[in-house]
């Protein structure tokens, strides 16, 4: 497993836009296809947004760390905070048939990533720290184009 | 940021643009609710929205709920691909009335 990038950001809502640009650049550098790029941007944005809203409760001077790893054509993103450890059992997608504002972030992350795992606590006595690990198989731009062409070709044959 | 507003038939059209994220969605929410609370039928034009996250979508859902409670019309207009992707992920694309263009309103 190879570490690609690590970024530290303050828990401010105005940091989300530059963060999305950073994620986009990392994904493009890994030759991710357009769909992959959009999924990764969405997932990291929602994850950091959840940290700002729920973990840090809008305290804007706290730290969020986002790490990017690559392992055998899989991109692994870790979002780390130093807030009070959450009960990971409480972090789950809600019933979408209940149409109401909020609570969609976890669902969106689960939809766009292949594997999502929450870990709480860093083992320290003060019970602080949360880690969200998200994985996504990388589909390269070239491969994606070829697949699209194959779909078009097959459709034309039919 | 105050988004431009125009009128069409009974609707006020709020034209959102750019990236609607947690930093911007409070402004969006405030502007949407100000029109709905004045009992105006409201269209949200999403054609120039390049990015919207779940907080932006929450503002739209809240607008819809308040509009329903006041029995006024609330719909989305010209939803961009980026916005539609998120609405579909949240399974809200069938919850909102969505018009491709003003011509579709009739």
What mean pLDDT is predicted for residues A35-56? 97
Residue of A16, A99, A101 lying closest to B22 (CB–CB): A16
Which of B74, B80, B89 to mutate: most A Cβ within 10 Å? B89
How distant is the Cα of A134 from the closest Cα of chain B, in angstroms?
A: 17
Q: Is the pLDDT of residue B4 over 50?
A: yes
Residues of A in contact with B22 (CB under 8 A): 13, 16, 49, 52-53
Q: What is the pLDDT of residue B106?
A: 77
Cβ atoms of B74 and B41 within 8 Å: the answer is yes
Q: Starting at the edge strand that comes first in sequence, how are the strands of the sheet with B97-99 ordered?
A: B5-8, B11-20, B41-52, B74-77, B97-99
Q: What are the percentages of helix, strand and coil residues in chain A, rounded to 5?
A: 40, 30, 30
What is the DSSP-derived secondary structure letter of residue A14?
G
- Phi/psi for B76 (5° steps) reads -105, 150
Cβ density class A115-154: b for 16+ within 10 Å, e for less: ebebebbeeeeeeebbbbbbebebbebeebeeeeeeeeee
- Write the pLDDT tens digit of every residue in B50-101: 999 999 999 999 999 999 999 999 999 999 999 999 999 999 999 999 999 9
**CA triplet B58, B61, B63: central angle to 5 degrees?**
110
The class level of CATH for B5-105 reads alpha beta
Which of A18, A36, A99 to mutate: most B Cβ within 10 Å? A99
Q: Which residue of A has its CA nearest to B82?
A: A38
d(CA A135, CA A118): 12
Domain A2-157 has CATH 3.30.565.10: yes
Top-confidence residue, A142 or A42: A42
Question: Residue A94: which pLDDT band, with cuts at 50, 70 and 90?
Answer: confident
Question: Residue A34: which pLDDT band, with cuts at 50, 70 and 90?
Answer: very high
Q: What is the 3-state secondary structure (H, E, C) of A85-120?
A: CCCHHHCCCCCCCCCCCCCCHHHHHHHHCCEEEEEE
pTM of the model: 0.89
Cross-chain residue pair A13–B65, CB shorter than 8 Å:
no
Residues of B in contact with A42 (CB under 8 A): 53, 86, 89
Q: Is the complex ipTM more than 0.90? A: yes
Residues of B in contact with A96 (CB under 8 A): 90-91
Residues of B in contact with A56 (CB under 8 A): none
Cβ atoms of A73 and A1 within 8 Å: the answer is no
Residues of B in contact with A41 (CB under 8 A): 51
Q: Which residue of A has its CA nearest to B19?
A: A17
Which of A42, A44, A51, A96 to mutate: most B Cβ within 10 Å? A42
How distant is the Cα of A79 from the closest Cα of chain B, in angstroms?
A: 17
How distant is the Cα of A42 from the closest Cα of chain B, in angstroms?
A: 7
Mean pLDDT lowest for which of A28-32, A37-41, A117-121? A117-121
């Amino acid at each position: 497993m190879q570490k690609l990038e690590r970024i530290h950001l303050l828990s401010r809502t105005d940091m989300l836009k530059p963060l999305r640009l950073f994620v986009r650049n990392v994904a493009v550098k890994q030759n991710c296809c357009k769909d992959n790029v959009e999924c990764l941007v969405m997932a990291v944005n929602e994850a950091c947004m959840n940290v700002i809203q729920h973990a840090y409760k809008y305290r804007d001077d706290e730290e969020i760390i986002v790490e990017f790893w690559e392992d055998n054509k899989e991109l692994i993103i870790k979002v780390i905070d130093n807030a009070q450890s959450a009960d990971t059992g409480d972090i789950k997608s809600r019933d979408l048939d209940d149409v109401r504002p909020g609570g969609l972030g976890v669902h969106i992350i689960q939809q766009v990533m292949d594997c999502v795992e929450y870990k709480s606590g860093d083992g320290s006595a003060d019970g602080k720290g949360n880690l969200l690990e998200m994985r996504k198989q990388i589909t390269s731009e070239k491969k994606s184009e070829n697949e699209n062409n194959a779909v078009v070709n097959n459709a034309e044959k039919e | 940021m105050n988004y431009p507003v125009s009128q069409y038939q009974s609707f006020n059209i709020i034209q959102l643009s750019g990236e609607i994220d947690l930093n911007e969605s409070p402004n969006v929410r405030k502007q949407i609710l100000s029109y709905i609370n004045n009992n105006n039928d409201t269209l949200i034009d999403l054609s120039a929205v390049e990015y919207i996250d779940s907080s932006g979508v929450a503002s739209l859902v809240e607008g819809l709920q308040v509009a329903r409670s006041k029995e006024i019309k609330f719909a989305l207009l010209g939803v961009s691909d980026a916005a539609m992707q998120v609405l579909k992920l949240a399974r809200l694309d069938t919850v909102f009335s969505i018009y491709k263009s003003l011509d579709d309103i009739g």
